[in-house]
Structure 1
């Protein structure tokens, strides 16, 4: 019987009760729990020397196989090429990207080492599902080791158009590496088309819209928007609604409307622009002073990367400046929290807000948008204000879609959301919940694995 083997840069903590995880961890863990299998990747630990072999732990039907990285590998593979080169470029922030030849060599070296660590764990009929930009060369490394299992790749972040990707010096090698997968999946058709445009227009390959061929190698392609389990989120949000933290938040509002945003502390999330939009709202609508608050939850991430340190300092300064300008003795316009919350508690906090403001400058999907909708009370739902540059914008028909670079447009959308009549809010929420149920997380998983099975001509994991 074939197994599903998931490979990602980080393996989420085995414990179920930790702080809210990112979209990749949530999606992968929920998908694996249904099929069972193996989750392989970095443990998050850095040691003087890398692991000799994976640490194995089994919980239920999921086996966790984790490895530790050496400090040099972490610096070159993770902090370096993955997050100082690929992340900013794939999010269209070439101005923040840097390229170092030694870091790229480390990126390649760690991918080869990870493939060698995984090989002894594999069975001949395993199906391998690789996740995200850290592991673009992983299939090529596996093939060099003689691993013949079907290997699919899913990119959780955006894929840039060729002219943007050209700014990464080894861009041609990255495309050649992606071509070693049997299937390459993207969040949206826009991202998929950007990949195909490179293959056809920049590299001289061919495509029929469902596959790409380059230098004699063909891989299937597809758009597979990641989903959530909306009814499970709704249940968790309702169940946690009376927890102490949630009650304290409601009590602190004194009847004021709440606008909520939840993002990792990252320059791609449009946090500064969001603060400016909220400031523009207060400037244009004095009647809202003392009647609305913005709660921004932004857990710190990659705090050892300079660009992340800068965004944190900028947000602290901007929130302080805006609060200093508008705050009253009994009202602070912006509550800015640099901390994590356990996932179910976070769903209850989302349920409390009249407006969910999800306005990244560029995002592969953004599951917070879907979680906010799913967490709402269907009899009195809040309104989602959503960036047109999030993949979720294609799937959320009831959202107020904005250009986050247009500060006044975002401010006006927040005001419209705050004043929207109940019947319109109910209608918009119902349309989005129907879409979330139609394309939930299991649909994402099954669609990808079915496409991989078709591309590799194998049976699906049971």
Structure 2
């Protein structure tokens, strides 16, 4: 059996315990089954103007190959082009893109650096699987230095429409980078269609049928591979978590009020202020619910090195404070806002306690919080998912109440509908979603993609 080489921007420190999250668990299992290498950035700075040496270590049948990046790399490749250009562009925020040629050069330089470091580790029959927008050019760089192995790429975030994508000054180099792979995976059919349309618009190539694309004289596969979660494991975690002291204390503190929960990394794509405004509209339109429900918004900080994220943190906190000041009472606070990470087991328990899950991003590739909320529910008394139609998960979770997150009144109305929904309807909505999640979990996603790449 050929080995698997996984390349990702960040590599979890599996030496410190179980991998954090289902993706890491699935990739670790695939690597353990086939043997192989997991390569990427260590998450650390070398402290100089040059990247650090490649540190290679074998752990339980997996070879980890990690490198520190230089301060310049982190500024140009990571904070610059990847997260100040590609991230906002792919989330349709052209107003936030901050293109600079030096950052673009740094992005391609770091991909070239990873390719050159990886090349000596590759065997002729290895299969290479590259993850996410940080590393789009990696296959091109590997092909340039003679690597002919099968290579696959998975895009975890949305792929934008051609009208948005073509605003990128180096769009041809980016989309051309994807054509160097043998399989290109997206979260949804919409994303795959946007990619094919971009090839056609630029006269580079296009869809030739059966999931095959052709560009620059190469044929490759492209399509949707919706990512899942470790459904049964997460459901069991939630069942256990409701009995923990932390979750019981929180449930007691609600004093019988219905819980509405939102869990999002701090990012402008998550629609956090719009969600808070929607909850405010709900309370204004339904005064009988004041004092009978509490919204918990958990929002860990992220990308503090990227300009604008600190201002966003203040904006979200001020929005929550405004609602609490306007509508709160001595014995009730409408919104509890937590600006730090919470242990996954505690989160699973909070999902199970909640009557409503609010997942309303302005744009999202998939959004696994939506899937975790569903998996955590008690089948006999499930909560209701309010889900943005612009999240990839909306194509799978058809039992959710779909909303346009830009329509604040509609969000408020969805909250009212979710809280008032009878038990029979809640069960009817929950059952097919849970079946979907069980049949299309993270392990199947991993095996489906690798099967196409291998065959």
Q: Residue in 1 aligned with 2:386?
A: 385
CA shift digits 1:182-241 (9 cap, x unpaired): 111100010000000011122242322412212212221111000112111011111122
**Per-residue deviation at 1:120?**
2.1
Q: Residue in 1 aligned with 2:262?
A: 261
Q: Residue in 2 aligned with 1:457?
A: none
Whether contact under 8 Å (2:2, 2:34) holds in the other structure is no
For residues 118-157 of structure 1, the aligned pairs below 5 Å read 118-157=118-157
Q: When the two structures are superposed, what TM-score results if normalisation uses the length of structure 1? A: 0.94
* Cα distance in 2 between the residues matched to 1:234 and 1:165: 38
Q: Could you say if the C-alpha distance between residues 57 and 341 of structure 1 is closer, same or farther in structure 2, counting changes exceeding 3 Å?
A: farther
After alignment, is 171-180 or 116-125 more displaced?
116-125
RMSD of equivalent CA atoms: 1.7
* Cα distance in 2 between the residues matched to 1:235 and 1:179: 41
Whether contact under 8 Å (2:197, 2:206) holds in the other structure is no
CA shift digits 1:259-318 (9 cap, x unpaired): 001111000011111000000011101011111111111111001212211211110111
Q: When the two structures are superposed, what TM-score results if normalisation uses the length of structure 2? A: 0.96
**Per-residue deviation at 1:39?**
1.5
After alignment, is 156-165 or 8-17 more displaced?
8-17
After alignment, is 103-112 or 206-215 more displaced?
206-215
Q: Residue in 2 aligned with 1:188?
A: 188
After alignment, is 401-410 or 84-93 more displaced?
401-410
**Per-residue deviation at 1:61?**
3.8
**Per-residue deviation at 1:345?**
2.4
* Cα distance in 2 between the residues matched to 1:61 and 1:233: 26
Other structure's SS at 2:308 match: helix
Q: Residue in 1 aligned with 2:47?
A: 48
Q: Could you say if the C-alpha distance between residues 15 and 321 of structure 1 is closer, same or farther in structure 2, counting changes exceeding 3 Å?
A: farther
**Per-residue deviation at 1:435?**
0.6
Whether contact under 8 Å (1:24, 1:156) holds in the other structure is no
Q: Residue in 2 aligned with 1:459?
A: none
After alignment, is 42-51 or 293-302 more displaced?
42-51
For residues 17-416 of structure 1, the aligned pairs below 5 Å read 21=21, 25=24, 28-29=27-28, 31-32=30-31, 35-49=34-48, 50-209=50-209, 210-416=211-417
After alignment, is 37-46 or 354-363 more displaced?
37-46
Whether contact under 8 Å (2:229, 2:437) holds in the other structure is yes
Q: Could you say if the C-alpha distance between residues 44 and 94 of structure 1 is closer, same or farther in structure 2, counting changes exceeding 3 Å?
A: same
**Per-residue deviation at 1:28?**
3.7
Whether contact under 8 Å (2:266, 2:313) holds in the other structure is yes
In structure 2, stretches of 5+ residues that fail to align are none
How many residues are treated as equivalent by the alignment? 453
Q: Residue in 2 aligned with 1:460?
A: none
**Per-residue deviation at 1:431?**
0.9
**Per-residue deviation at 1:13?**
2.3
Answer 1 or 2: higher relative contact order, Cα 8 Å, separation at least 6: 1
* Cα distance in 2 between the residues matched to 1:142 and 1:199: 22
Task: Find out whether 1:424 has 2:430 as its counterpart.
Answer: no
**Structure 1 residue ranges (4+ consecutive) displaced by more than 4 angstroms after TM superposition:** 15-21, 23-27, 29-36
